Each structure stands twice: as C-alpha cells, then as structure tokens.
Chain A
C-alpha cells in the first residue's frame, strides 16, 4: 500500500491566493473563518468518521484486549475457561520474552514459542527495512537519472519500470518463490545450487531482492519527479564552471532532490516496517525472516489477546519511527524553505 504523506502541513500552498493569511485582513476575517470552518467541518466529517470507525476503534479495542488474558484450560474439566484481566503479562510475553511457567510464575520463553521470537522479529524487520530502503534509494536514484536523460526509447523504459509496481505483491511473492525454487531458474541461470528458502542469509536476500524489484520503480519515479524540477540551466552553469559529474551530483542534484527524496524514504520506510505478504508467501517466516507483522498473524490463532498486545507494540514502534523521521524531515524542509516561510509562522 502506497500512502502519500505529503509534507502539506509544513509547507505553504504554491498558489496561496486565497489562503487565509493573504485574505483581506480586518473586519470580515473572523466571519470568514467561521463560515469556512462550518463548510470545512461538513466536508471533512465523512473522512474523519470513516477513519475513526475503521482505524481508531480497532486500535482502542486492541489496547483493551491486550490487557485481557486468553482463555485457558480448566485442569479439572479439561474445558476452556474465561481468561480474565491480564495486567501487563501479554506485553511481558513479548518484550521480556517471559512465558507462563507450568508450575506458576514465568520462565524465559523457550525457542519454539512465538514469544521467544519477538526481538529477532524486530531485528529482522529493521534489517529488512534498512537494507531494502537503502538499496531502493540508491538503485532508484540511478534509474531516475537514466530516465531523466533524453534518448530514443525513453518512454519504453519509463513504462517498463511500472510493470513490477503493477503486479500485486502476492503474485510477486509467488513468482519469486518459483524463481528461487531449488530447481528454479535462478539457480539454473547462475549455475548455483543455493537453497534460497532453506537457510538464513539466502532466504533474507530472496526477500530483499523481491522487495527491491517490486518497489524500486516507485522510488525511481518519485526521484525522477524531483529531478525534473531542477532547471537545466543550473547544470549548464555548473558545467561551464568546470564541475565534474560527481560534483554536479553532490552539489546540485542531491540537495535539490532532497525534499522529495526524504518524503519518498519516509513512506517507503513505514511500508517496509509493515512488510508482510512477501516473506509470508516466500519463506513462510522461516530462517529468521519472520517480521513483526508475520508474528502477529501467527499469534492470532494461538490467542487473540496476546496478539493484540503485539499489534499494539508494532504500532508504537512504527509510530516512533515515523515521529523521528518527521522531526528529522520536517527540520530539513524548514531549512529548505527558510526564505519562503519567514513571517508565516
């Protein structure tokens, strides 16, 4: 799911003719706000309500559930009995990896329990996120630079780049699973006999390769759009001044593309932190490719409430990453816009 996180709130609209700050000041202003506000609330209400119902309700209910214990067996009857309040034990199960001990109390979750996988799943999720986003940024930049050049067949390349993006991820995963089969084309082509889904690093790389294939085009297009905003004269001037290609890239391209790039990286990062379909279908989460999302799904059938605790933790992790990013990103945007923003704030 590609979500647009335009830096709308921190920037001024391009055509600000009717923005309030430019509206005629004085007498009518308060009335204008009031009437526009009324309008706005009508226009926004459906969106807010829709999101509240589908997002806020489940989040709250997940938090409530996460403090309930799952049903357990009544040793006398062998039947399940209501779990009751759990305090923070569901969270302890994940974060401290403490499972209920058969004799009462808790023990460290032994390997083979989902609880024991929390930190490794977190590490895997971050590993995937960092590696895929880094590769996608570098490759995406390279592809964007090529697509920005003029040459015959450029539109063909731009169209081809959209193909991996248009294939549904579930299909992509099946396709790569087939490619990476032991008897598959990947091993044949490179004359290797790698067990792509059978050991840790090949499995991780299989996921990374598939993800990079699928989403680099998206990154490339975002960067391309940024590149096209740079006037050609700037490059010409730099060339005349004798700047090398690398210098031009570092001094002109990079800084000018940066705002667009940072937004692209932000929402790729958030997407990568939620990675689910690709490893789920490709490796089933084995060989240390279990991401946090896969862990939640595995837990659902073992107990709703413990799963709810993990989904809450996952949400908090993503929220924190987004927070750090937006601060970092926001600061940069402000820096870029100092001139324009002056006096507005």
Chain B
C-alpha cells in the first residue's frame, strides 16, 4: 500500500506550499535544500550510476554559478538565457577536464578531478577583472519574476518566495530529466560500466566515451544548480568551487544513499536541516557530522534511503507472512 502513494508528487506539492507557511526562514531553508538536492543528484550520476568517484564536483557548480552571475550582472543577460548557458558552460568544462580524467582509474581519477577543481577555484580566486577575485561577485540580481503576478495568488508573495517557486519548478524539471536519463539505454550502459568495466568493454561499449558523456551530463546539472545557488545566495564566491564544497556534496550523496535515485536528495535535506539545527546548539557541528558519518558507514552502508528501503521490505515480508 505504501508503494501506491505517489511520494514524489506529494513531496513536490508540500514543497510548493512552503511560502504560504509564512516564515522567511522556511522558504530560505527549502530553497537551499532544493538546489543542493539537484547538485547531489547530479553527482550521483557519476558516483552511484557510473561508479566514478569525483572529488571535484564543485568545480562545475562553481562554473555554473559564475557563468550565470557574470552574464546576469555584468552583461545584463536575462535569466532565461543565463540559466541554460550556465549548464552548457559547466558541461563544456566537464568535457575538457573529463577527457583527461577518464584516462585514469579509481583513486587517480578522483585525484585528477580534485586537481582540476582546485584550478577552477584558483582562477575564480585570482581573476579579479572577471570573477571579482577573492571578494567574489556580490549582488547578483534576481531574475525578472514580474510575470508571476499574472498567476493568481502569486502576485502578493515576497521576491524570495517567488524565486523559491521558480527554483522548485526548475529543479523538478531538471530532476525529471535526470531520472529519465538514468532509466534510458544510456543510463543502463553506465550501470553496466559501474558493475564491470572490463566486461562492458567487451559487449561493444566504448567505456571511456560513456564515462566522459556521464561526466559532462553530471557537470551540466551541477552547473544548473550552481546558477540557482548564486542567485539564492545573492552573490557568487570562489568557495563555490573549493574542495570543501566537493566534499560536502559527496557526504550528502553517501549520507542519503547512492544506491537509490532519491538518496542524494534525502541526504541534501537531512544534512542541511541537521546543520541548521545543530549549529544553533553547539559550535562542534563537524564533530557531530563526523560521528553521524561513522555510524552510518558501519551500520547503514546504503545510506538513509538504503536503510529505509530494506526496513520497508522487511515490514512487507512480515505483513505477507
């Protein structure tokens, strides 16, 4: 019976209702979660589906954020153009960096992704004329959302609430596309490569080319997430591409469970909420996070969603018996 409920639709509808809950804070949190969920889901295309461990996924998040911010703020390009451009730019960089990365395997692949990400960070940090250097680019404008006033009930909302609704719809569309991709023949080939690259090669798959394609697609969606995050954050900063950001998204993905499509989204939500709650009690948030991760890795290697799914299975089995 639990399976009959269209959970994804329910959660989407509940999320849509957040601005009417009234609190600026909840809208803020929900926007953060939605964007980071897309970011984590994009990483999982590599991690969970293709079996590639990227330590530098923040590079594409950062590239997307800067692309969109520079286009919107410096050149006055409308959001409708800058948003897809951010994805395309991130994918283009992922294609170039990935070309070298997929030539290496395992830990060497991971280290090279990290190296490229640090290069991106260094460029953002130093290229003052374009990126604003260390100071970043504050005051990235909101997209023009005056058209929302034409939709009954949305006109009276605060700008932040309107932007949240825009984010929610765009993230939902991007996630739907990702979902479609992982269940496509292309997605199946990625799974096969994760399972056994040697055998995959000998059913006629050009393994490196597929890994590169996955890398670019993941970069594209990370770029979209970055573009949204720059606007949400009211500015873009070199930190977006820093290795700690790559680690954060990696933790979200593993925390939520990389073996399940929705795992990383759950991870993004749990990590953001925990961070918010625990930092209000103690300054030792990293200590708590570390402890949670240790317990999780040993007790529930499938992450939160992995644990829930197996618990659910046990329950239905007992129900049937």
Is A bound to B? Answer: no
Chain A interface residues (CB < 8 Å from chain B): none
Chain B interface residues (CB < 8 Å from chain A): none
